[in-house]
Every structure is written in structure tokens, then in C-alpha cells.
Amino acid sequence: MIKVSIVGATGYVGIELIRLLQQHPEVQIKDLISKSNANKKLVDVYPQFRGSKLEKQTLMAIKDFKPEESELIFTALPHGVSQDISFQLVKSGTRIIDMSGDFRYHEIDIYEKWYGVEHKHPELAKKAVYGLTELNRAQIKEAQLIANPGCYVTASLLGILPLIDSDFIKSDSIIIDAKSGVSGAGRSLKSNLLFSECHNTMKAYSPAVHRHSSEIEYILNEFLRGSYDNRSSKKRAEVLFTPHLIPIKRGILATIYLDCSRKSSAREIYDLYADFYGEEKFIQILKDELPEVKNVAGSNFAQIGFKYDQRTDRIIVVSVLDNMLKGAAGQAVQNMNTVFAFAEDAGLEATALFP
């Protein structure tokens, strides 16, 4: 049993971490830190935790938090805010899994350009390890600070990585059309997140300029240049990414368009996925069918299907996951399991909640 704390415990990612950790066989939840709800009882803010182990847990202000008493801390804070807090927490020597965008880039200028803020701790960012488990397991095991990937990014990378370095894929003309449920936007009080504004409608937003664009492209390029294995590809990735807001609670569906430089086949493409993921527990490659959000919502699984269109020489990849789980808290727990050598699916065994 390890002692785990969460800083930023009452945002949606925070409570998803709580939900998972309170049933984790190897974890004892220690402190739950919340700025907006300090000193309240958790069950008074989120009544779904009545009847759980956390029935009596009180939320803590960060000034009262002693990081060295935990063996792992999840920081679930807005980007910008996380820079300083994680910097302070790292000093305690405790391992950190950070859910924000603040430590996902070793190239600070890319971060600063796309996020529009200065990075105060670039040296720490350069030491952070990118937490896409299936991509970077070896480094994750040794990391003190893990930068957990963005939700759109996880869905996109899982669909693209197995193909991008193949000889017949054009890596520099990738289009990602992604659709997300509303929980991905968090609990902030914005009029465009009101039920009456979101329900029974949909929209595109931030086309070509969403921050996750840069993260997808950056990680693909790191991958091609060998940062996660021994490869050294001459290819370079360029990504056009358009997110959409869809009136569901949980779930991301990324439709990815890849150009081919020669004829291929469904079999060849399937084999690339199968080789890349092998026995990966949480990645499911579908043959001759496409995934739906309901297959994975409530679980840590990602499902990937594809269609090879010989007529237009393109591959359409469809990648789905639950943005709160494999897209955020679930992958964070998977990373924790990796770090502490627990079973990788400990606490993550649930299948999708359907209907």
C-alpha cells in the first residue's frame, strides 16, 4: 500500500482520480487538496462518495499539505498554475504525476508559443517524462515527474503512432478531426458550457490552433527522432487538428486521415497495429468494424478501427477512449501502476458502463 495525495482534488479530473484510487488494491488515499473547497468534507461537495472509504475525508488547503508524507502526488491543476506548485512539490522528493500541459514539452519555446505563457521552470520541464504509457513505459518507470498526456492527444497518438514511420504513410499531411464530450472542458463557469447552450447542438472550435495540436505534433516528431526507442527516422510530422464539442458527457472520438504514398491493404495496416501494440492490455485493434464511444466509456480502454480507402489512397483511422480515463485519470493511474510495479490494470479493470 502506498500513500497517495491529489492536489486539485475537486475538479473533474481530481474526482475521477479519487473514484479510481479509493478502490485501488495497493493505494491508500492520504490528502486531498482543494483551493476552492478547503476544509469542507468531500461528500458535501460530491455526494457520490457517500458510502465509500472517503466518507469522512476532509479537503485540505495546500498550505497544510506535507508532500513528503505521500509516496505519490497527482497534480490536477490548470496549466500555468501547475508550473509553480509542481516545482515546489518536486523538491520534497515525492514522485509527481502532473495532469496539466505544463510539463509535456522539452522544447519550451513550443510550449510558450502555443500556451501563450512563459514557462518559469524550463529545466524541470526538460526532466519530465511524457506519460503515454504504451509509448514510454521504460522512462516512466524511472521518472520523478510524469507529464500525463492530453485527452485529445492520447486518442490521436494511439491511432497514429503505429503507422507514422511506415514507408507508405505521409507523415506531414495528417488531419485529425476530433470530437469530445463536455466533461473534457472541466467544471468552469462559462456560459458556453451551460446545458441549454450545449445540449442538442454541436460545434467546431479552435481549428488549427488548439494547444493539443502542438502536443500531438511535438510527440510525433519526438517519436520519429527516436526519443522513445532507438529509431531514427528522417520523417517529420505535420498535423492539422480540429476539435469539436459534442453533447455527451464522456468520450473522445478522433477521426484521423492519413495519406498513403502507395497502395496498401487492410491486412498490412492491421499488422502494423498488431505489431506495435502486441499484448498491450488497454489497446484494442478492431478488424472490419469501427469503434464507438459506448464501447469504452467508463473504462480505461482505447479502441481503434480503420478503413483503408483504395480509391483515394487514404486511411481513415477512428480512435475512441473515455477522456476522463485513458484520456486523463485512468492513464495517470496506469502510470502509477507502472512506476510502482503494480499490475498495470490494478484499479482499472472496469469494462464500459453500458447502457
Give the pairing type, strands 174-180 and 252-259. Answer: antiparallel
Bond into 207 cis (ω within 30): no
Amino acid symbol at 73: I
Enumerate the active-site residues: 151
CA 68 to chain centroid, in Å, comes to: 26
Side-chain-side CA neighbours of residue 243 (13 Å): 22
For residues 313 to 332, the per-residue mask of contacts with its own copies, x marking binding by CB under 8 A and - elsewhere, is -x-x-x-----x--------
Q: Is residue 175 involved in binding its own copies (CB under 8 A)? A: yes
Query: Residue 50 or residue 231: which is nearer to its own copies going by CB?
Result: 50
Q: Which stretch binds its own copies (CB under 8 A): 27-35, 82-90, 149-157, 283-291?
A: 283-291
Contact 176, 237 (CB under 8 A): no
Query: Residue 112 or residue 177: which is nearer to its own copies going by CB?
Result: 177
Q: In angstroms, what is the minimal distance from the CB of 88 to its own copies? A: 29
Query: Residue 125 or residue 198: which is nearer to its own copies going by CB?
Result: 198
Q: Which stretch binds its own copies (CB under 8 A): 65-73, 78-86, 103-111, 287-295?
A: 287-295
Judged by CB under 8 A, which of 70, 255, 264, 335 binds its own copies? 255
Q: Is residue 11 involved in binding its own copies (CB under 8 A)? A: no
Report how many residues bind its own copies under the rule CB under 8 A: 85
Residues from 86 through 115 that contact its own copies (CB under 8 A)? none
Q: Is residue 182 involved in binding its own copies (CB under 8 A)? A: yes
Q: In angstroms, what is the minimal distance from the CB of 355 to its own copies? A: 4
Tell me how far CA of residue 297 lies from CA of 5, 207, 350, in angstroms: 25, 25, 10
Tell me how far CA of residue 197 lies from CA of 99, 182, 194, 242, 289, in angstroms: 27, 11, 5, 20, 33
What does the block give as the cell for 46?
A: 460530491
Judged by CB under 8 A, which of 38, 46, 127, 139 binds its own copies? 46
Considering only CA atoms, which of 316, 342, 280, 340 is closest in space to residue 140?
A: 340
Q: In angstroms, what is the minimal distance from the CB of 77 to its own copies? A: 18
206's torsion region: left (phi>0), alpha (psi -120 to 50) or beta? left
Q: In angstroms, what is the minimal distance from the CB of 320 to its own copies? A: 8
Q: Which stretch binds its own copies (CB under 8 A): 85-93, 103-111, 147-155, 233-241?
A: 233-241
Task: In whole angstroms, give the CA distance from residue 42 to residue 211.
Answer: 32
> Exposed (0-12), middle (13-18) or buried (19+): which is 218, by Cβ within 10 Å?
buried
Query: Residue 139 or residue 286: which is nearer to its own copies going by CB?
Result: 286
Q: Which residue has the cell 473533474?
A: 12
* Exposure string over 128-160, b if 16+ CB within 10 A, otherwise e: bbbbbbbbbbeebeebebbbbbbbbbbbbbbbb
For residues 183 to 202, the per-residue mask of contacts with its own copies, x marking binding by CB under 8 A and - elsewhere, is x-x-x-xxx-xxxxxxxxxx
Judged by CB under 8 A, which of 33, 73, 90, 297 binds its own copies? 297
Judged by CB under 8 A, which of 68, 126, 138, 247 binds its own copies? 247
Judged by CB under 8 A, which of 14, 149, 291, 327 binds its own copies? 291
